[in-house]
Amino acid sequence: MTIEPLSATCLGRLVYDYGDMSIALVSSSFLDEQATRIRSRSLSWEARQISTEDLSQLKKIDKQPPSKLNSVLMGEGPQYAFLFTSILKKLARTEPTQAVLVMIGDALIDHEERVGLFLRTSDQDPELPFDPLVKALDSDDEFVRLKSAQILTALLAPSTNTPPPEHVITPFLHKLSVNIHSSSPNAQDVSLQCLAALLSIRSARSLAWQNQNREIIRGLVKILKGPPVPVPQTAYLAGYAMWLLSFDQAVAEGINTEFDVIPVLVGIAQGAGKEKVIRVIIATFKYGQNLATKAPTANLPSMLVAKLLPFCKNLATRKWTDEEILDDITFLRDLLQQNFESLTTYDEYTSELASGHLSWSPVHESEAFWKENAARLDEKDFAQLKRLVELLKTSQSSTVLAVAAHDLGQYVKHHDRGKKYVVQLSVPLGDDQAYLFDRAVTKLGGKARVMELMSHPDADVRYRALLSVQRLAQGELFAFAAVHHQIDER
C-alpha cells in the first residue's frame, strides 16, 4: 500500500472506524526483490512440518504465474487461506517461513475480497490468522519481520464488521515503535507505512494513546525532530500518522502537553520543500476535528507561541497546485488571528509559559508588565510560578533557562505586596497568607535551582541567574530586618 499525497478533499474523507485504505500491500522495493528471489528457489519441506496432502496443494501453485494462482484461489480460496496460515503456525525454519509469507502476500495483493478468507480461518483455529504473523514479527530475519508486518497491515486495515483484536494491535504497535527507529532504512520505511495504515483504525488510535503504547508517538516526534532531518517522504509519513492520531479526542487534548509536538510540526512545515508535507501538517492543526478545532484551549496558545500565525499568513500568499489547501490555511490563519486579538499581554505570557518555549519577546523585558502582573503569578495556588520554576528545573535550552531566571528575578523585584508579608513567612501570625514571595520561590526549589545555574556553561544563563539570586537575597535581608522590627515593637 503506497501512501499517496492527499488532496484537501481527500483529507476530509477519513473513515472514522477503519479508513478508506486499499488492500494493495505496503510498497517496498526490498520486499519485492526478496520475494522474487524466494519464488525462484526450490524448497525441501520436512515431513514433520507439512503433510503429504498439504505439500500436494502447495505444489499446485508453486512457481505458477499469477493467472494460474488466481484461478486456483478462485475455486479453493478458503482451503488455501487455512493452509497457508496453519503451516505458518507450525514452521520454525527461516526459508520455509519466507516462502509461505510470499504465498500469502501473492494471494492478497490487489484482492481485497480475499482478506475475509484469511479472517475466517479463526473459525477452524482461534489462533489464526493473526498469532503466527505476530510471532513472526520477532524473527531474526528482516524479510520475515517486515513481510509479516506488511501482511498484518493488509489484514487489519480494510473495513470489516468486527474490530481488530487488541491482543494483535498492541504488540504490533510496539514492534512498529521499535522499527521506526531502526538503522535499516527498509525497516523504517515499511514500518512507517504500516503505522500510517494501522492508525486509520479508531481502536488503534485509542490504543496508541494508552500509556504503555505511547512510545509510538514518542518515536514519531523523535523522527520529526531529528537529527537527522527527515527526508520528505519520511516527514510526510510521520506527519500523516500524526494527522490520523489527532482525530482522537484524548490525543488532541494531550499530545502537545506531553510531547511538545506543535513547535516540531511547525518547524517541519517551515522547512518543507514538498507541498504534501505542508498539506498534511496544516491538516493536523486544522482539518475537521483536529488539534485547533478539537482542543483549542490545549493547543491554540502553543500554536501562537510557535509563530504559526505569521507562517500561515505567508502560506496564504503562495501558489498551490492543490488550491483547496488554501481554504485550510485561511481557516487556520483566521482562527489564530481571532485568538491572538483576544489575548491580553498576560495571556500571551502564560501561553508562552505553558508552551515551555520562552524567548526574549518584549513582554519579558517590560518593567511595566512586571509591575502590573508580577503578583498574578501567585494566582491559582502559584500555578504560573510553579510552571516557571519547573522550566528552570527541566529545560535543556539555554535561552529558556536564561529567560526563566530573568523572569524569576523580575517576579521577586516587583512583587511589592508580597514584601509586606515577608514577616508572616518568618514569624507565624496565624494568617492564611503564608506562601508569598521569596518563600514561595524557595519552597518550590526555585532559589536552589537559580543558584545552580550560576555555574551553567552558558554566560547569559549565569548572568541572569546571578541577578535573580541577588534579588532573592535582597528579599531575605528585607525579611530579616522586618522580623527584628516586629520583635522590637513587641
Lowest mean per-residue pLDDT among 31-40, 63-72, 268-277, 453-462: 63-72
pLDDT tier, 442 (very low <50, low <70, confident <90, very high otherwise):
low
Q: What is the mean pLDDT of the chain?
A: 85
Bond prior to 65 in cis (omega within 30° of 0): no
Mean pLDDT to the nearest integer, 437-453: 77
Q: What's the CATH number for 374-489?
A: 1.25.40
pLDDT tier, 419 (very low <50, low <70, confident <90, very high otherwise):
very low
pLDDT in tens, 359-386: 998 899 999 999 999 999 989 988 998 8
Eight-class DSSP state of 3: -
Cβ-based neighbours of 217, under 8 Å, separated by 6 or more:
208, 209, 245, 251, 255, 259
Residues shown for the chain = 490
How much is the pTM?
0.80
Cβ-based neighbours of 188, under 8 Å, separated by 6 or more:
179, 180, 181, 182, 234
Quick one: cell of 157?
Answer: 486495515
Q: How far apart are CA 439 and CA 445, in angstroms?
A: 10
Eight-class DSSP state of 160: -
Cβ-based neighbours of 483, under 8 Å, separated by 6 or more:
423, 426, 427
Residue 482 has pLDDT above 60, yes or no: no
Mean pLDDT to the nearest integer, 2-10: 47
CATH code 1.25.10.10 region(s) in the chain? 1-6+162-342
Cβ-based neighbours of 23, under 8 Å, separated by 6 or more:
1, 108, 109, 110, 111, 112, 115, 154, 158
Quick one: cell of 287?
Answer: 482539518
Which pLDDT does position 46 carry in this prediction? 66
Q: How far apart are CA 67 and CA 186, in angstroms?
A: 29
Which pLDDT does position 289 carry in this prediction? 66
Residue 159 has pLDDT above 70, yes or no: no
Q: 229-232: long-range contacts at Cβ-Cβ below 8 A with a sequence spacing of 24 or more?
A: 229/271, 230/268, 232/272, 232/273, 232/274, 232/276, 232/277
Mean pLDDT to the nearest integer, 405-410: 93
Q: What's the CATH number for 22-156?
A: 1.25.10
Q: How far apart are CA 390 and CA 371, in angstroms?
A: 23
Which pLDDT does position 421 carry in this prediction? 32
Which pLDDT does position 425 carry in this prediction? 31
Q: How far apart are CA 355 and CA 388, in angstroms?
A: 11
CA distances from 252 to 206, 211, 277, 298, 332 (A): 11, 15, 20, 8, 16
CATH code 1.25.40 region(s) in the chain? 374-489
pLDDT in tens, 274-317: 999 999 999 999 865 689 989 998 898 889 999 999 999 999 99
The share of the chain scoring above pLDDT 90, in percent, equals: 62
Provide the CATH topology of domain 1-6+162-342: Leucine-rich Repeat Variant (1.25.10)
Which pLDDT does position 205 carry in this prediction? 94
Tally of CB atoms within 10 A around 14: 17
Eight-class DSSP state of 48: T
pLDDT in tens, 135-145: 999 999 999 99
Of 289, 291, 303, residue with least CA distance to 339: 303
Higher pLDDT, 249 or 10: 249
Residue 426 has pLDDT above 60, yes or no: no
Quick one: cell of 292?
Answer: 485547533
